[in-house]
Amino acid sequence: MKNARLAVLIVSGGLCSATTALAQTPTPGTGDATPPSATQPAPTPTPPPAAPPAPAADNNDENLFRFYGILTPRFVAATGAMESFSQPNESAVTAAGNPVFSNFPDEARHTFQVAQSRLGFWLNEKGPLRAQVEIDFIDFTKATPTVASLPRLRIAHVDYTIAPGHSVSLGQDWDLHAPINPHGINLVGGLFQSGNSGFMRQQFKYFYTTPSFELGAAVGFPAPNVTPKDAGFEIGALPTLAVRGTYKFGKSRVGASAIATRIPFNFRAADERYAAAFGTTLFSELAPSDNTNIRVELNFGQNTANLGVLSLAQGRAATDVQEIGGYVSVRQVLTGIHAVYGMAGYQKVLDPSKVVPSYDTPASGVATLSGTGPGMLHNGTVRVGYEIKPNRRLAFVLEGFLFQSHHRLQAADVPNFEAERTSLGIETGAVLTF
């Protein structure tokens, strides 16, 4: 009876989670789409159970369903224009704002946000067959939406433990590639486009896990396509192939990962071209003491933004674009309820001449995003935060940030705007987990 109820819950949970994805900016000539932003620091994958649990009585359903969430009301203020994944607002800041695309780029601004909150549930979390669904409410095309926020599907996957140490997962989840995310209150921004190169993907994953080692492999879809028609990614592209190896010791881990595929540009046109898109990372999460946590990523890639990875290198029909980057994030508990943290991240395109502006200025004179990628030569971030936790489920956070971003401008805008932008600001608010 319990298995029957589990099957019904998994099926019904999957149906309930089919939330319509938010529209994204198409990439000309490929049918791709600029990915939506990521949503929260990727948790360490939960090791699969060592063996299927012993059969329980039919009335023992305590582990069948677990509801969870993060509620995070925040206030954000900055000395100048900011942007959230190229959109000129502070919903999940990732860079200093493009001066052409932003309103009054040199003026201070502020906003209140709750859309980074999220809700989810696990079905049969501790069993050999389990499922997870999670949503948040972020929409980067809305500056301060209030009741206009809509649900966004983040995670929907089913896992199965084949045998002790062997498990598979199918669905939409954090990418196998680049599993470490930084600390901080900006869960969705997460140093993406400034050293952090991960995101979500629809994929099939396999894990082999031991107490000291984990090996993973995945086959995934190259990138989102939110148009109504199948295009280059559905018809002409290969799936992504990813691998990851992690060595675990105590509460620490170090590892390496890679993702690669072949993508089409100008699919089925006279100038069609196929190009390699790939990314590699070295990562570590170190716990030198119970009160200290250090997370580090170093990455290198080519055309990685075309794969939905939240980085700077967006290739085009005429050229491939390569990049390097990385970040370090450190959190130190001072006492039982007080903690401080700091992080720095940087991402750079290796050949700046290959970067094109992220926007067009049509005859109307109003700049619009063109779908050609982030349009930045480099992007750097420094964040420092203080956290007080009066309760194990509640934290109040004060975080200061500095962004320095170099945007590629259209030739007509170069004399009128400063392409390299620096902006300071704060984010403060609460994080309630349950």
Q: What is the mean pLDDT of residues 243-252?
A: 97
Question: How far from chain centre, in Å, is Cα 373?
Answer: 16
pLDDT value of residue 36:
35
Report the alpha-carbon distance of residue 385 to residue 185 in Å, rounded. Answer: 9
φ/ψ of residue 156, rounded to 5: -160, 100
Tokens of 240: 């992504």
pLDDT value of residue 2:
45
Tokens of 280: 């590699």
pLDDT digits (tens, 9 = 90+) for 377-397: 999 999 999 999 999 999 999
Q: Which residues contact 266 (CB under 8 A, 6 or more apart)?
A: 29, 30, 272, 273, 317
Q: Percent of the chain having pLDDT more than 70?
A: 85
- The domain spans of the chain are 2-433
The CATH H-level superfamily of 2-433 is Porin (2.40.160.10)
Tokens of 234: 């559905």
Which of 183, 179, 180 is closest to 330 using CA atoms?
A: 183
Q: What band does 365 get if pLDDT is binned at 50, 70 and 90?
A: confident
Q: What angle do CA 320, 325, 329 make, to 5 degrees?
A: 155
pLDDT at 25 over 70: no
Residue 161 contacts residue 167 (beta carbons within 8 Å): yes
Report the alpha-carbon distance of residue 399 to residue 387 in Å, rounded. Answer: 9
Q: What band does 336 get if pLDDT is binned at 50, 70 and 90?
A: confident
pLDDT value of residue 61:
53
Count of Cβ atoms closer than 10 Å to residue 210 Cβ: 11
Q: How is 307-358 classified by DSSP, letter by letter?
A: GT-SSS---BTTB--EEEEEEEEEEEE-SSSEEEEEEEEEEEES-GGG---S
pLDDT digits (tens, 9 = 90+) for 184-203: 999 999 999 999 998 999 99
Q: What is the pTM of this model?
A: 0.85
